[in-house]
């Protein structure tokens, strides 16, 4: 491939995108009539089926980082990209086996409800609410900057107007349609993304007579055998395990994913959701890997990297080679819809952390009237939209790829340990939860700052103070150890009694909300 | 006549105890399998890259690492499917039976 249409306004992309925006705004208008109280705003009235929620979960999870990022990583680094596609999938079965049922049966609107269920409400809600919000904000920055850059490339719009457009749309979806609109935006986006990627893979394999062997032979012929072998991304075994921990357990600590468990009526539908989501996401990752190898062979690695150094345009460029400007436009619109939907999911989750966990849980000790809570949630949505736009401006042109990694590291280190210990370990205490979450949050943020990712690559220092690129092996382990030691140091009688008392609820769903 | 079931009755019921211990055994076993699967794969990457770099047959350029990675994804989906199927049929049916039986007694 010698030249691309990327960089000039693509009328097809704009047309597809306008159709997407109009239909999702239509859905929001319909949803707005249904959103009356907290159950609708946070949990779509618990009316979503397992299959729908599975699609919506995969929609929440398949961000631009996985669609554009993994394909780009495979196109530029070969096999190493597969590490991410595998790592981002394997957390799902763990969620299903250990978390799904008790979380659904014990929680109300956010995963923090389930953590705090048998502990003291205020301290847990405060610390978990902050950690949840921090996770969401880092994830949000990565999505906003990605959206701005993508729109600049595809639609020819300036970066700033793209950020404002995304910010306004996410506010509209969430403010008026709450979780009802957000869920349907996710479902449509997941359908578009799975469909678009399937067509792209079909057309790629067509070039190779539907033989993966032929595709890999071509990749090997162009870039050598080493392209099909794990390579430079993972330098030390310790780093490999650390990355693996963050990817696997980070998934199980993402607030916007865990929140989706409360949109279904019961544990049975929750299990179904996770199974469908795992299937869709696994299928999608196999597609993105194929797209990556397709882009490497049919577009060419140097072409991919000349458009975007990180390789993020591998998928769109492959679409252009195979289907011209029309298909390029379609795939770009799908990528933009992807970002928009993920941003909406993050906003509901961030708003609920502010209104349900920090305001009602912490400030009001769990007592508030519903009308007021919804009003606070809507104000929080508005505030988050404005903050997202400002952050998008501030981080313009910065390398934000590490922020998704940081969000996963915090989720794995601060959110996941407290959640799993509260659900499964009788002797876990309030002090243990608070200490564990603070340890995980502070260590994850500080160590990433001191790691080669920021200290060397971004700040330009010669050597890193913390040697590993991935921090979870230290931050997540410490979070568990601190949580266990503090819990064992001082017994919390009340927490243990409630643990026993809620056994029927956690296993049978009796009295679950 | 339907008695109100106290939480205590359920917790002390033998069938219920058996059921949750069976559920926990299955969930923990499957979790361990999943962890072994994934960290086994990571261990290969960390300590035995040359193995992953072998080709699947002398005439092919495809490396063993590719089907292994895809295999981890597919097996993860299957393990999840096994649990979801068991829980949504056998487990949920037993739960219903226990509650119904206690309501009659």
Judge whether A236 and A73 are in contact, CB under 8 Å: no
Contact A244 B38 (CB under 8 A): yes
Pick the residue with more confidence: B73 or A405?
Answer: B73
B66 falls within a domain: yes
Contact B65 A229 (CB under 8 A): yes
Cβ-based contacts of B28 with chain A (< 8 Å):
97
Tally of structural domains, chain A: 1
Count A/B contacts: CB-CB distance under 8 Å. 149
DSSP characters for A277-292? HHHHHHHHHHHHHHHH
Residue environment code for A151-177, b if the CB has 16+ CB neighbours within 10 A, otherwise e:
bbbbbebebeebbbbbbebbbbbbbbb
Contact B61 A244 (CB under 8 A): no
B1 falls within a domain: no
Contact A228 B84 (CB under 8 A): no
Quote the ipTM score.
0.93
pLDDT of residue B4: 57
How far B61 CA lies from chain A's nearest CA (Å)?
5
Is A297 part of the contact surface with chain B (CB cutoff 8 Å)? no
**Distance (Å, whole) CA B85 – CA A145:** 41
Contact B63 A79 (CB under 8 A): yes
Which chain A residue is nearest to residue B57, measuring alpha carbons? Answer: A213
A3 falls within a domain: no
Q: Does the pLDDT value for residue B7 go beyond 70?
A: no
Rounded-to-10 torsion of CA A274, A277, A278, A279 = 130
The region of weakest confidence among A315-329, A413-427, A496-510 is: A496-510
Judged on CB neighbours under 10 Å (0-12, 13-18, 19+), A462 is: exposed
What residues have CB less than 8 Å from A95, skipping those under 6 apart?
A251, A252, A274
The region of weakest confidence among A122-126, A453-457, B25-29 is: A453-457
Contact B45 A234 (CB under 8 A): yes
Of A213, A278, A500, the CB nearest to B76: A278
A5 falls within a domain: no
What residues make up the domain containing A197? 11-508
* Residue A4: pLDDT band with limits 50, 70, 90: confident
User: pLDDT digits over A482-493, tens only?
Assistant: 999 999 999 999
CA A290, A295, A298, A301 torsion-angle sign: negative
How far B30 CA lies from chain A's nearest CA (Å)?
7
Q: Does the pLDDT value for residue B20 go beyond 50?
A: yes
Q: How far is CA A219 from CA A45, A51, A77, B101, in A?
A: 49, 37, 11, 63
**Distance (Å, whole) CA A271 – CA A507:** 13
What residues have CB less than 8 Å from A97, skipping those under 6 apart?
B27, B28, B30, B31, B34, B83
Is A49 part of the contact surface with chain B (CB cutoff 8 Å)? no
B71 falls within a domain: yes
Cβ-based contacts of A216 with chain B (< 8 Å):
60-63, 66
Judged on CB neighbours under 10 Å (0-12, 13-18, 19+), A384 is: buried
pLDDT of residue B1: 42
Pick the residue with more confidence: A120 or B99?
Answer: A120
Q: Which alpha helices (DSSP H) does A207-236 contain, by range?
A: 212-223
What residues make up the domain containing B92? 7-104
Mean pLDDT value of segment A287-300: 96
B86 falls within a domain: yes
Q: Percent of chain A having pLDDT more than 90?
A: 75
Contact A279 B53 (CB under 8 A): no
Tally of structural domains, chain B: 1
pLDDT of residue A152: 81
Q: Does the pLDDT value for residue A146 go beyond 90?
A: no
A6 falls within a domain: no
Among B50, B73, B79, most A C-beta atoms within 10 A, so best to mutate, is B73
Pick the residue with more confidence: B13 or B44?
Answer: B44
* Residue A122: pLDDT band with limits 50, 70, 90: very high
CA A218, A223, A227, A233 torsion-angle sign: negative
* Residue B5: pLDDT band with limits 50, 70, 90: low
Contact A274 B10 (CB under 8 A): no
B31 falls within a domain: yes
Pick the residue with more confidence: A150 or A282?
Answer: A282
Contact B31 A98 (CB under 8 A): yes
Rounded-to-10 torsion of CA A212, A311, A20, A154 = -130
What residues have CB less than 8 Å from B48, skipping those under 6 apart?
none
Mean pLDDT value of segment A138-167: 87
Contact A501 B7 (CB under 8 A): yes
Q: Does the pLDDT value for residue A138 go beyond 60?
A: yes
Mean pLDDT value of segment A19-25: 93
User: pLDDT digits over A414-442, tens only?
Assistant: 999 999 999 999 999 999 999 999 999 99
CATH number of the domain at A391, please. Answer: 1.20.1730.10
* Residue A139: pLDDT band with limits 50, 70, 90: very high
A92 falls within a domain: yes
pLDDT of residue B3: 54
Q: What mean pLDDT, rounded, does chain A reach?
A: 92
Cβ-based contacts of B42 with chain A (< 8 Å):
240-241, 244
Judge whether A331 and A17 are in contact, CB under 8 Å: no
The region of weakest confidence among A82-86, A376-380, B80-84 is: A82-86
B30 falls within a domain: yes
**DSSP element (H, E) containing A110:** none
Q: Does the pLDDT value for residue A291 go beyond 50?
A: yes
Cβ-based contacts of B9 with chain A (< 8 Å):
none
A259 falls within a domain: yes
Mean pLDDT value of segment A295-318: 91
**Distance (Å, whole) CA A371 – CA A379:** 12
């Amino acid at each position: 491939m010698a030249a691309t249409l990327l960089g000039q306004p693509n009328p097809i992309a704009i047309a597809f995108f306008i159709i997407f925006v109009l239909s999702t705004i239509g859905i929001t208008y319909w949803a707005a009539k249904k959103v009356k109280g907290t159950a609708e705003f946070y949990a779509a009235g618990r009316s979503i089926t397992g299959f729908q929620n599975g699609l919506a979960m995969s929609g929440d999870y398949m961000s631009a980082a996985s669609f554009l990022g993994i394909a780009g990583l495979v196109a530029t680094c070969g096999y190493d990209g597969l590490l991410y596609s595998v790592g981002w999938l394997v957390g799902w079965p763990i969620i299903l086996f250990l978390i799904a049922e008790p979380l659904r049966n014990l929680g109300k609107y956010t995963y923090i409800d389930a953590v705090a269920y048998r502990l003291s409400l205020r301290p847990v809600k405060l610390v978990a609410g902050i950690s949840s919000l921090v996770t969401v904000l880092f994830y949000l920055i990565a999505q906003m900057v990605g959206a701005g850059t993508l729109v600049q490339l595809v639609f020819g719009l300036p970066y700033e107007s793209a950020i404002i457009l995304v910010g306004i749309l996410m506010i509209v979806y969430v403010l008026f349609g709450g979780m009802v609109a957000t869920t349907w935006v996710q479902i449509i986006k997941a359908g578009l993304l799975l469909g678009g990627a399937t067509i792209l893979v079909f057309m790629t394999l067509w070039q190779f007579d539907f033989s993966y062997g032929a595709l890999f032979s071509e990749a090997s012929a162009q870039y050598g055998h080493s392209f099909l072998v794990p390579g430079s991304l993972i330098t030390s075994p310790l780093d490999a395990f650390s990355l693996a921990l963050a990817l696997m357990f980070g998934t199980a600590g993402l607030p916007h994913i865990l929140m989706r468990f409360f949109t279904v009526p019961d544990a049975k539908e929750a299990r179904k959701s996770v199974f469908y989501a795992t299937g869709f996401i696994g299928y999608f990752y196999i597609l993105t890997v194929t797209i990556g190898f397709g882009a490497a062979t049919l577009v060419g690695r140097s072409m991919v990297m000349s458009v975007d150094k990180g390789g993020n345009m591998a998928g769109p460029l492959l679409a252009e080679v195979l289907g011209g400007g029309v298909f390029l436009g379609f795939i770009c619109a799908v990528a933009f819809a992807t970002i928009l939907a993920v941003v909406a999911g993050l906003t509901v989750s961030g708003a609920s952390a502010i209104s349900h966990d920090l305001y009602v849980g912490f400030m009001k000790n769990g007592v508030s009237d519903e009308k007021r809570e919804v009003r606070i949630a809507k104000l929080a949505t508005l505030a988050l939209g404005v903050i997202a736009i400002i952050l998008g401006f501030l981080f313009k042109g910065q390398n934000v790829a590490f922020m998704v990694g940081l969000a996963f590291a915090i989720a794995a280190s601060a959110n996941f340990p407290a959640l799993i210990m509260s659900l499964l370990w009788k002797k876990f205490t309030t002090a243990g939860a608070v200490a564990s979450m603070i340890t995980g949050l502070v260590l994850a943020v500080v160590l990433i700052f001191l790691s080669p990712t920021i200290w060397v690559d971004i700040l330009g220092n010669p050597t890193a103070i913390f040697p590993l690129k991935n921090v979870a092996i230290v931050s997540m382990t410490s979070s568990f150890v601190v949580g266990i030691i503090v819990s064992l140091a001082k017994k919390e009688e009340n927490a243990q009694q409630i643990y026993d008392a809620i056994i029927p609820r956690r296993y049978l769903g009796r009295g679950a909300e | 006549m339907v008695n109100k079931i106290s939480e205590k009755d359920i917790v002390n019921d033998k069938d219920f105890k058996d059921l949750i211990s069976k559920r926990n055994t299955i969930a923990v076993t499957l979790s361990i399998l999943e962890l072994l699967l994934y960290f086994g794969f990571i261990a290969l990457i960390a300590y035995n890259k040359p193995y992953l770099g072998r080709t699947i047959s002398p005439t092919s350029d495809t490396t063993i690492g590719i089907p292994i990675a895809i295999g981890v994804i597919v097996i993860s989906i299957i393990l999840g499917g096994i649990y979801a199927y068991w829980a949504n049929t056998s487990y949920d049916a037993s739960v219903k039976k226990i509650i119904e039986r206690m309501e009659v007694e």
